[in-house]
Amino acid sequence: MTEKRPERTRGPYHHGNLKAELLRVGMRVLEKEGEEALSMRRLATEIGVSPAAAYRHFESKNHLLAGLVERGFQLLIRSTLRGAEADVIAAMRRYGTGYLRFAIRHPRLYRLLFQEPLYALSDSDGLIVRSAEPAFTLLVEMCQAGIEQKAFRPQSPISMAHAAWALVHGFAHLKTESCLPPGLDTQSDFLVAHEALLKGWS
């Protein structure tokens, strides 16, 4: 996963927001070809800058991947927030189906979001952990709202959020790793399990 950094060459480059462009092109390569196809040199060549210019923004491939993870979690959160539901049960259903839909549409990105070795290699500043927190915090807040609205009996909203996340993440993992039978309606099966979970809390 590591990539040797070349010696920097002097001289300015003129490409506007190069960091954003590296992330944009990197995301495209990741989604189409997978993580193995990514390299700083390839992205620099496609964008039309020197590798040294690219390395000014990302010290290594791992740091680029961390940037893609940050962007990926932003997209994941957006996928779970479509629409506005006053009812907490409907909001949690929307969160789960949005999460699962994101994983199905972006399997390579989804795998990267939960790639444990990457956290150890490139997250010394906590970027990945900070990027992931809002998605879980949102789930905790919905569980707390459900308790306050008396949709759920009093219990730990954090434990509830862990259970809800484990359920949807399990379905997403099985789907993206092709562990489910072909033709299975994953969304429908997930909703059956999700409704059973919520009823157990009421």
Q: What is the pLDDT of residues 55-102, one digit of tens each?
A: 999 999 988 998 999 999 999 999 988 655 678 999 999 999 999 999
Q: Which CATH class is domain 70-201?
A: mainly alpha
Angle between helices 40-47 and 18-33 (to 10 degrees): 110
Q: How far apart are the first and last CA of the chain?
A: 46
Contact 176, 103 (CB under 8 A): yes
Q: What is the pLDDT of residues 122-163, one digit of tens each?
A: 665 677 788 889 999 999 999 999 999 999 999 999 999 999
Q: Show me where the domains of the chain are located.
A: 18-58, 70-201
pTM of the model: 0.84
Number of other CB atoms surrounding residue 15 within 10 Å: 14
Domain 18-58, CATH: 1.10.10.60
Question: Which has the closest alpha carbon to 198: 83, 59, 72, 89?
Answer: 89
